Amino acid sequence: MKEQTIRGAFWTLVDAAGGQLFSLLAFLVLARLLDPSDYGVIALSLSILAIPSVLLNEGFGDSLIQRDDLRDSHINAAFWANLSLAAIFVVAAEASAGLLANLTGEPLVEPTMRWLAPCLIATAVTSIAMNIYRRRFNYSTAALRTFVATASGALVGVGLAALGFGVWSLVASQIVQQIVGLLVMWVGLGWRPQISFSVAAFMDLCHFSARVMVGNAVRFGTEKLDSVIIGASLGPILLGYYYMAQRLLTTVNFVTISLADNVMLPALSRMQNDETRLAQTFISMIVAAAMLWVPFVAGLGLITPHLVPLFFSHKWDPAVPVIMIVCITAVTQVLSRTTSQALLAIGRPTVNALLNLIQFAIMLVLFSIGVRFGIEGAAWAYTGMSAAIVPFHLWALHRFVKVPVGQLLLEYAPVVGAGLIMSGAVAVTGQALSPSMGDWCLIGQIPIGGFVYVAALYCFAPRRVKEVASLVSHLLPAKFRFV
């Protein structure tokens, strides 16, 4: 199990690094070719389609991973149920596109939604294949799928943007990414759907998956609620600036927290009858994720004043304070992002739904107030929500997963301490180099910050650093291992 989990984390890293590299490079180019309002329109459309997307991605798919005695009839039932659900969502999206455009006050939402809605079919089919691979701990195919699909979508998006297609270059990029990802995922799967449907197998899955869908629908509704409120209240241009901040956080998430998040459910599901082992494994995973998340996000916030004008052009300068504010979540967000995986692993999707509902209520209140103070007020609302939800997640981890919260916080504290020391070093370096190097001073900030962080973390938590070094070494061929 340890070997499978480590390999899964490695391929998740390859998945994230490969896909996100192309995605980020495309974003750098597209940000210069397109206006913030173009990103605001696509953010609104994708936010509206987010709930059906997550229902298709994480409902029946998660039940295939969590179930102990999985049979072919279960997979077949999940496939046809997911496909049928996708067809219903497509029809509903097409029918309501005009109404939603009127409600958001953005006419372009209607045509973009009509083109993006059929992608839900690809999402439904890809989800079943993806979770079959995850159950097998076969993450290499997922990595290949993300790499090829993201690269294909990026190339199409950049090409169309260069030809002057505006927001439609982003729509085409999304469509190509979904279609290519579907084709790559199904090659070599070794399973094909049968023209049959077992009601008994469907009912076996439905009890768990229905509760997962409710919880995840609320969660994704919460995660996209901010974009809907900002778009409707402040307009697509300011939403575009907020989208950039969230886009950069998402990139960091893919190469940090997602390493643990993607392997946590299949790994912890096999420990659900051993509470102590499950709790300790969870702590190890979350601390390992935090060791990457905290310095990446804190560092991003500090170098943003030089990063944005240098790589994205000065038209994105209003996004700088927004990015700096949301990066304060470096301290809090990792403590809540992986709770759902632990709860699903022990068969507690209802508790996960409750946490998501609480977060939804907090976000609704804070963003309704925050947007009255402009886009920076909305950024502070996001940061406040990230902190306010943490106590509820810690309670759930203690009450249901039996995680010793005191131990978790004690092991998390050195990571935060090392991050604070690194932040000081990055800030001082920026002030010293900025007069002579301008925006290029980040070339000095990044390596100095990285060195100071590793040194400080080793002083505060040498055991954890050695554990991570051992895991990295374990991924290398025997003759290259250094631990």
Average pLDDT, the chain: 82
Range of lowest pLDDT (53-67, 373-387, 459-473): 53-67
pLDDT for res 480: 42
205 and 77 in contact (C-beta within 8 Å)? yes
The stretch 11-24 carries a mean pLDDT of 58
* First CA to last CA distance, the chain: 20
Share of residues in the chain with pLDDT > 90 (%): 36
Please give the Cα distance from 390 to 219 (Å, whole number): 14
User: Which of 115-129, 141-155, 358-372 has the largest mean confidence?
Assistant: 358-372
Would the pLDDT of 17 be above 60? no
Which of 141 and 439 is assigned the larger pLDDT? 439
Distance CA 385, CA 59 (A): 25
* pTM summary value: 0.76
Q: Percent of the chain beyond pLDDT 70?
A: 81
Task: Assess whether pLDDT exceeds 90 at residue 377.
Answer: yes
Other C-beta atoms lying within 10 Å of the C-beta of residue 199? 10
286-319 per-position pLDDT tens digit: 898 899 899 999 999 999 999 999 888 889 999 9
Whether 332 has a pLDDT exceeding 70, the answer reads yes
pLDDT at 459 over 90: yes
Q: Which tokens belong to 6?
A: 């480590």
Tell me: pLDDT of 40 over 80: yes
Alpha-carbon gap, residue 80 to 467, rounded angstroms: 43
Based on DSSP, count helices (H) and strands (E) in the chain, helices before strands: 22, 0
List, as one string, the DSSP characters of 64-102. Answer: HHH-SS--HHHHHHHHHHHHHHHHHHHHHHHHHHHHHHH
Rounded mean pLDDT, 122-148: 72
Predicted pLDDT at 52:
81
Q: Identify whether the C-beta of residue 295 lies closer than 8 Å to the C-beta of residue 450.
A: yes
